[in-house]
Each structure stands twice: as structure tokens, then as C-alpha cells.
Structure 1
Amino acid sequence: MAQVVLSLLLFCVRPAGADGDEVQVAMPQSAAQPMVWSEQDWGTPPPIRVFVGSATTTDGLPIRAWYVDVDYSDTSLQVRPYLAQAPSGKEAVSAIAQRMAAYVAINGGYFDMSGQPATTFSLVKTDGHIVRKNVAKVTRPNGVYFVTRSAFGVRSDRSFDMAWIAHLGDDVYRYSEPTANSPASLAPPPTQTYPTGATIWSDITDAIGGGPILVQDGQVKITYDEEAFFGSGFESGKPYPRTAVGYTASHHLILFVVGGKRPAYSRGLTLPELAEEMRRLGCVAAMNLDGGGSTTLVVNETVLNQPSDGTERRVTSALTVIPTQ
């Protein structure tokens, strides 16, 4: 099996703060040793390659991760998100994958676990139809924050895009920067001119929402505060199971999961560590998706990771790689 050695060294990331200053991100004390990736054969078509990676922290904790590399220049494949179809609003990723005859599937965006039925907080656009919108605002102790949560999209010409977005009337706007939220500052709501670089997100056939952005223009850029994830119980600086999507300059899609919350199996990654790993895998853009017990990777109907809940969590959406329809 081919092996690729990629460093997953502990480092200190200083993402841009909401006011343009830099904000220090707390990191765990145990550093990860270099991660070793090995290619595995799961019977997927040649454009889909599957890798498993392992590492050990300096205090002896294991890290176990997987990524799928999809050569999207092959037009026999397509990326498509799907909503769960069960009456509860939730399905296991493996059930969605089986229903859609997917080669690969990962869990999608965030959702209300207690809802009856459960509802997603993240965009789902399937075959040109918006079936769920990104959340527009969130409540935190300081007040109501209007947000431009991030999303990954595929255009009709099969090119990829990743941006901060907002739904304004019937249109979806993309922005080159997010709204300038921070724990101490509430940004105004997005408009047709604010934040910067506002354009209609046109020609997107399929899209999935999540957040925060991890990589932009090939550099680590974590917009955790700007997307107002603070105060949500979703922490940036602690190692957890994580799911991410990204793409390379050579038009390869990267789907990534790492196990966590199970010390004997996998420590997990912080958001800065996840962002750096996506960058090391060649991503010019990358975005975090729902994680924790939701983190799931299915390849040819087999769940590759060990979900931290012990069994698959039912989720409201999944991002799949399927035969072109």
C-alpha cells in the first residue's frame, strides 16, 4: 500500500479576529507525532481513493483518521447532499448512503437533535433545489448575532466553491469575508453590499452548509468567532471527533473524518489541528461540518470510523459521492 507521511505537529494558529486583530487560540498540551497515511482498497472506482491515518500524541494518546480523495475531473462521479427521509427527520449516514447507492458518504451540517422532527441548521441544496437554508441568526448571552455561516457548493460546470453565505429573499449571497462578529461585538445583518465581496451565489447545483471555514486560499483561516460558534457548546480548542470537506487546486475533493472522545481509540483533533491537516492534504479551501457523535464516514456501505456514541448517530443530512445521474 502506498504511504504518505504528513506532519500533524502541534502549532499555534492565530486566525483573524472580528476587528482585524489576531486572536490567540488555546491548544492542548499534548502534541501529535507525524501522521502516517496508508491507502486502503474498499472496491471504489479508480477516481476514489481511501486513506487511513494514525498518529500518537506525546502523552501516548492515539489519533485515528480517514480521508477520501475524489478526482472530480472524472465525470462519471458527482457530489450530492441529501436530507434524511425518516419521519423523525434523522437517518444514519449508512442508511442514506444505501438509499442513494453512494460510493462514499459523510455526515453533513448541524441540526436540532431534540426536534420532533429534527431540523437542520445548515444549507442543503440538491440538484438545484434549496431544501433547507443556513441559519440566519443565533442567540448568545450578549444578544442575537446575525451570521454568514459557510457552505461548500458545486457549480453546473463541476467547479467547486466555498464561501460565507446569507439568504436574502429568494437569493443566496456569497461573501469574500464573513460578518465581523465576536463574543464582544455584534455585527449588523448581512445585506446585498455587506460584508465585502457580496455577489449572488449563482449556478450552484448542489451545496451543503456547515462551518466554520478552516482554510481559504490555501492558508489556515478559522472563522469560528465570525460565524458565532462561541457559546454553542462546540469548542475550537479541544480535541473532538471532526468531519471536514475541502478541495484542492487540481480539482480533487477531500472528505475527512477523525475519531475522538475514546482515549484508547482516538483522541480527536482541535479545529486548528484539523485546519492544518486539511491544508497539508493540499486543500485550497476547507470547511468544518458537524462532528462529535455525528462524525461518520461510509465507503461502499461500510462505516470506516468508530462513532464516539458507540453506534451511528442519526443525522439530518449527508454529503455523498454517487454515480453521475
Structure 2
Amino acid sequence: MSDSVLTRRVSRRLLLGGLAGVAGLGGTAAWALDRYLVEHVEGTVTDAVAATSAGTFSANGYTSASTSLSIEKVSVGSGADAVTYFVADITAGDATLIRSAFAKDSFGTNIIDYPSSIAATKNAVLAINGDYYGFRETGIVVRNGVAYRDKGARQGLALRRDGSMALYDETATNAAALIADGVYHTLSFGPGLVADGTVVAGIDSIEIDTNFGNHSIQGDQPRTGVGMIQPGRFLWIVVDGRSTGYSRGVTLPEFAQLFADRGATVAYNLDGGGSSAMVFNGSLVNNPLGSGKERGTSDILYLAG
């Protein structure tokens, strides 16, 4: 049971305790069970076509007529200060080859699957965990050009069809306006890490939401983020953590600096912790929490062939 998706979901997202006795605890525990554990499907995805990998794979990269990809493993420090992270440098002649997929091809709350499993259904060249949209009920969610949720709440990231990326205020716009402006994907987690090539000030004191599991994202943590060097050229970085001697994780300013040092003009933080995962050619690249085991999530970003 300890390796089950349900247990992972409880251990990560609920700090309530005693849910095993939910039947005898009354309405509050029943509400918590329904809100944070029970799947609620709001719609199924009908446009999620599996990719066809028409390019050539190498041990740490991929090339095709329209894309190129290289993956670098970086290890620095030692002992308690060791940090290990993975950098995917992606050039996509067609930015719509950067796609999103939902767990079980369904949109809603508490619908999860392992990143590698979601990636396999799309024949993804490369994939990373997304923003875990399914844990919250707010945010603007546009994926593959389709609007699924339109409840602006925080700073988001927009990826346009022309390959450009921008941080934006969700509360100052809406999904229809974003799509009209050429936005193909939005991500809603944060915070923004890099703007105009500079690390964003104050990110070492930001909290994400106020709900269970996301109240604080500070300190040394495993992390996943996306960045853009220039339109059509992207950086996806996954940092492992919580594993002494292998990788402690990084702070948000340290994470932002990784992007800035590699020339990112904009970068954005995604869901992290045990969710941080990178999958390449069907195999898990990183080592989540030093255990080599993935945790279920609601969505991925992936590179189609």
C-alpha cells in the first residue's frame, strides 16, 4: 500500500491524519476525502493525439527535421551540500510540438497518474511534470490551445504558438483573450523565476496558495521549471532533492539562477518535491527523492517528435 497512488496522494497533499476512520469523523473528514482524494472528471480530452517520433535518439538527445534536444546531468558539491540536476535544452521549429497531456486523458480534480505513464500514452520524446492543476480549483488552464478552466488567481506562464513565453497576471485577463493572442498553453503554479534575463527579486519569500501541501515552497527542495532563451528555444530543468549525499535540492533563488546562467530570458517554477520528474524516450531520467520512484500527478508537458 505504501507505493500506491492513493497513499502517495495522502502523504503529500493531506496533513489531516485519521482519514482511515473517515466514516466516524463526520462531515469535515468526508469533505476532505471528497475534495482531495476522490476523482472528479469535468471533461475528457478528445484532441490528445499521440505523437509520432520521426527523429533519431541518442543516449542524451534527439533530433528530427523540426526539433533538437540535448539532456545534461550536472552534479555539484558533496556530502550534505551535493546537488544534482538535469537540463533539457530544446529547440523546436514548431512550438506546438511542445504539448500537454492530462492523466487518464481527463480534466478535473484528483485525477493522477505517473509522469512516465502519461508520457507513454503520447509517445513523448521528453516529458516533465506540469503544474498539478488538478489539486486546485483556480487558475487559468489552457492546454494545446483549448481552455479548460478560467478562474484567474495568481501569476501564470503563457506559451504562445510562435514559441515565445511570458509571465502574466491571471487576474488581469481571461482564457479567451489569451487564446486570441496566440497562447497555446498556460501554466498556473509559480512563481516566475526570471524576467528579462534577471532573477526575480523576492521569490525567497513567496508562498503558493494557502491550501494543504502548497503553503510554502521555500527552502532546499526538488524542483521542476521551464524557461525560454529565445522564441522556440527552451530550457526544462529538474532538480532532485531530499537525498543527503546525492542532492539536497535548491532554494528558489538558486533555481532561478540556474536558468539565468544558461541565458534564459524568462523562467517559471512548476510543481516540485516528489512530483519533480523528467522522462526521456520512455525512461525516468532523474531520481525523485533518491528513491527512483515517481509520484502521481495530474499533467505533463512533453515534446512530440
After TM superposition, is the score higher than 0.5?
yes
1:128 is displaced (CA, Å) by 1.5
Count residues with an aligned counterpart: 238
For the residues of structure 1 that align with 2:81 and 2:205, how far apart are their CA atoms? 32
**Contact 1:83/1:124 (<8 A) preserved:** no
Q: CA 1:86/1:320 → structure 2, altered by over 3 Å: closer, same or farther? A: closer
**Deviation string, structure 1 residues 226-246 (Cα, Å, up to 9, x no partner):** 97527543232x111000000
Matches within 5 A, 1:63-82: 63-72=83-92, 74-75=93-94, 78-82=97-101
For the residues of structure 2 that align with 1:220 and 1:119, how far apart are their CA atoms? 27
For the residues of structure 2 that align with 1:83 and 1:134, how far apart are their CA atoms? 19
For the residues of structure 1 that align with 2:248 and 2:254, how far apart are their CA atoms? 12
Higher helix share: 2
**Deviation string, structure 1 residues 59-102 (Cα, Å, up to 9, x no partner):** 65311100100012x33971111221277510111011111111
Which of the residues 88, 111, 117 maps onto 1:95? 117
For the residues of structure 1 that align with 2:177 and 2:298, how far apart are their CA atoms? 21
1:208 is displaced (CA, Å) by 2.4
Q: CA 1:163/1:264 → structure 2, altered by over 3 Å: closer, same or farther? A: same
For the residues of structure 1 that align with 2:270 and 2:299, how far apart are their CA atoms? 11
**Contact 2:140/2:174 (<8 A) preserved:** no
Which of the residues 150, 164, 183 maps onto 2:169? 164
**Deviation string, structure 1 residues 158-194 (Cα, Å, up to 9, x no partner):** 3333323237566456xxxxxxxxxxxxxxxxxxxxx
State the AA in 1 paired with 2:215: G
Q: Which moved more, 1:91-100 or 1:42-51?
A: 42-51
Which of the residues 157, 169, 188 maps onto 1:209? 188
**Contact 1:83/1:316 (<8 A) preserved:** yes
For the residues of structure 1 that align with 2:186 and 2:209, how far apart are their CA atoms? 24
Matched, 1:154 2:160: yes
Secondary structure, in 3 states, of the residue corresponding to 2:255?
helix
Matches within 5 A, 1:9-48: 41-45=59-63, 47-48=68-69
Secondary structure, in 3 states, of the residue corresponding to 2:132?
coil
For the residues of structure 2 that align with 1:104 and 1:63, how far apart are their CA atoms? 22
Matches within 5 A, 1:1-325: 41-45=59-63, 47-56=68-77, 60-72=80-92, 74-75=93-94, 78-85=97-104, 89-111=111-133, 122-133=139-150, 136=153, 148-155=154-161, 157-166=162-171, 171-172=176-177, 202-222=181-201, 224=203, 228-229=207-208, 232-236=214-218, 238-249=219-230, 251-308=232-289, 310=291, 311-323=293-305
1:272 is displaced (CA, Å) by 0.5
**Deviation string, structure 1 residues 252-297 (Cα, Å, up to 9, x no partner):** 1000000001113211000010011110011000000000010000
State the AA in 1 paired with 2:63: P
For the residues of structure 2 that align with 1:257 and 1:124, how far apart are their CA atoms? 22
Question: Identity rate of aligned residues, in percent?
Answer: 26
Q: CA 1:152/1:168 → structure 2, altered by over 3 Å: closer, same or farther? A: closer
**Contact 1:153/1:162 (<8 A) preserved:** no
Q: CA 1:224/1:122 → structure 2, altered by over 3 Å: closer, same or farther? A: farther
TM-score, with normalisation over the residues of structure 2?
A: 0.69
| Structure 1 portions without partners, runs of 5+ | 1-39, 113-117, 137-147, 174-199
TM-score, with normalisation over the residues of structure 1?
A: 0.65
Tell me the equivalent position of 1:179: none
1:209 is displaced (CA, Å) by 2.4
Alpha-carbon RMSD: 2.9
